Amino acid sequence: HVRRSGRERSEMSLNQLSASEVSSRVRAGEFSAREMLEASLAQIRAVDGVPGSLDQKPLDPAEEQKVHAFIRLTEDLARSQADEVDRKIAAGEDPGALAGVPVSIKDIFTLQGIETTAASRILWNFKPPYTATPVQRLIDAGALILGKANLDEFTFGSSSESSAFKPAPNNPWDPSRVPGGSSGGSTASVAAEEVALSLGTDTGGSIRQPAAFCGVVGFKPTYGRVSRYGLMAFSSSLDCPGPIARNVSDAALMLQVIAGNDPKDSTSSVLQTSNYLNALKEGVKGLRVGLSPDYAHLFYPDFETGELAMESIQKEISDAVQHAASVLSDLGAEIVENVPLPNAKYSIPTYFVISRVEAASNLHRFDGVKYGYRTPVDVEDLQDLIRRTRAEGFGSEVKLRILMGMYLSSEGYAANYYQRALKVRAMIRRDFERAFDPHGEHRLDVVLTPTTATTSFKRNDVFGNTVRMQYSDQMTVSANHAGLPAVSIPGGLDADNLPIGIQFIGPDFREDLILRAGYAFEQATQGEAWRAVRPAVLRQEVAK
């Protein structure tokens, strides 16, 4: 039995505050950014365990129960940021909208002078000479960067188990299960109350799927809404940085800070951002919310026949979606049923092709010549150096994707696969354009779907089956193909006390609409019993 001192007790409660509460109370002088930082570090020490590392030492059994959200803590950086916030407050200067808010950064974003690994051996010692734009905007807004969060290697996965830095993160709701991926360290750090916010990326679902698995809010903005400058590219036409938070208004607050044009990213939009926090208060009266039968099943290929077979999704998840629809309906939204989105079921096969081709192209730059890992053996020539470096530096999922991408884009196959995938992608987008068309049959403001077909799975259950793993993104990936904004918010718990995610998808640059829908559901369900249940690692913490 560990008795907590009064000081420790108050530190525990600081970690439960939302980002907006932290920032307003730090500005009001109720506690300092430095105190917030120390509370956050104390929580990390209590629940996180050893950070991920390349040398795979046998683990102490107690570590199995820990979260392991981080590859690297950046305590010194965070201390200097906290001191700067406290200095500004003392001097009467504006410390920014995220003053003193602890944040983790998925280790796929550059941070000047600090190792940025993409969870890959090939970048184990890479210290970038510049900072990613969304990270810089967080810093400028007074956030405290606590560390680099673990992820699937180069973001290739849906469980975070493919990280070269072990132990991979665990799910705070049940440490024998995965947090999802690829932003699994990010969502786990937010769920375990180690930080209030995290910056993730979503190419096929990597913010929303792990947010669903960890019971937090995961927000994928419209393609181009948030700069990709300083984000290591996976599939450049699909990648989106976005916020991870414990509630919808914190996601809106973080989006406000990171969104907006960046001259350093030529695909970043020049459209003005709207006021996302103000939008929350507008409610859902009259909002048209669509439900689609094409999101009621999982479509999985039969490898014998090549046919897409239908599999049902977890009943508790369909029930949660229905429940959300009725809550929104009670608040005055109009529920529009049977909206056809028939090409959504081809999203994963399409994604397999497009993402592998773009990944293979993007990963050419890692060659052991300019930076990162280089083979230690004596090499014959430059070819040999590159071949050995890549053979030793990349993990197996990365190699598989490079091989597949090279094959699919090779002469003779590109027309059959890549060109065809681009056509299907356009069809997936057209389905949504029809559903959102203000003069069309459905005139939707948002589409409501499950985020995932199942809740979190056990470690090692799916890992190794790259197709099965990919299919955890079936409900999320169409928004990437179409470039649309989408958010996953907590929608309940299943019988094993595992979080259920529900998803809202909106029209281009209408982040405000999906935030409004999510916020309205969240506020209206504050009294529901499942909201009082805490993640297992935090329950243990209290019981100690």
Residues that bind ligand GLN in the complex, under the rule CB under 6 A: 155-158, 182, 201-206, 234, 355, 470, 473
Within 10 angstroms of residue 437's Cβ, the number of other Cβ atoms is: 13
Distance CA 27, CA 91 (A): 12
Distance CA 210, CA 300 (A): 21
Which residue among the candidates 182, 186, 227, 472 is catalytic per the annotation? 182
Q: Least distance to ligand GLN from the beta carbon of 509, Å?
A: 20
CB of 117 within 8 A of CB of 71? yes
Which residue, 171 or 203, has its beta carbon nearer to ligand GLN?
203
Which residue, 95 or 230, has its beta carbon nearer to ligand GLN?
230
Which residue among the candidates 106, 148, 220, 345 is catalytic per the annotation? 106
Which residue, 229 or 234, has its beta carbon nearer to ligand GLN?
234
Residue 499 three-state SS: strand
Which residue, 51 or 184, has its beta carbon nearer to ligand GLN?
184
Which residue, 104 or 182, has its beta carbon nearer to ligand GLN?
182
Which residue, 373 or 471, has its beta carbon nearer to ligand GLN?
471
Distance CA 503, CA 268 (A): 24
Question: By beta-carbon distance, which residue lies closest to ligand GLN?
Answer: 206
Q: Answer yes or no: 182 catalytic.
A: yes
Q: b/e per residue, 484-494, with b = 16+ CB within 10 A?
A: bbbbbbbbbbb
Q: Answer yes or no: 268 catalytic.
A: no
Which residue, 389 or 470, has its beta carbon nearer to ligand GLN?
470
Which residue among the candidates 104, 159, 162, 206 is catalytic per the annotation? 206
**Cα–Cα separations (whole angstroms), residue 314 to 89, 157, 176, 311, 397:** 50, 21, 20, 10, 27
Q: Least distance to ligand GLN from the beta carbon of 31, Å?
A: 36
Residue 498 three-state SS: coil
- Which of 503, 439, 2, 488 is CA-nearest to residue 290? 503
Q: Least distance to ligand GLN from the beta carbon of 225, Å?
A: 16
The CB-side HSE value for 198 (13 A sphere, CA atoms) comes to 39
CB of 500 within 8 A of CB of 317? yes
Q: Answer yes or no: 266 catalytic.
A: no
Angle at 242 between CA 29 and CA 326, to 5 degrees: 95
CB of 27 within 8 A of CB of 148? no
Q: Least distance to ligand GLN from the beta carbon of 108, Å?
A: 8
Within 10 angstroms of residue 507's Cβ, the number of other Cβ atoms is: 22
Q: Least distance to ligand GLN from the beta carbon of 206, Å?
A: 3
Q: Is the dihedral of CA 91, 97, 100, 104 positive or negative?
A: negative
Which residue, 256 or 347, has its beta carbon nearer to ligand GLN?
347
**Cα–Cα separations (whole angstroms), residue 526 to 35, 119, 327:** 29, 37, 12
Pairing of strands 308-312, 297-301: antiparallel
Q: Least distance to ligand GLN from the beta carbon of 470, Å?
A: 6
Pairing of strands 70-73, 144-149: antiparallel
DSSP one-letter string for 351-367 = HHHHHHHHHHHHGGG-S
Q: Least distance to ligand GLN from the beta carbon of 327, Å?
A: 29
Q: Least distance to ligand GLN from the beta carbon of 481, Å?
A: 12
Q: Point out the residues that are catalytic.
A: 106, 182, 206
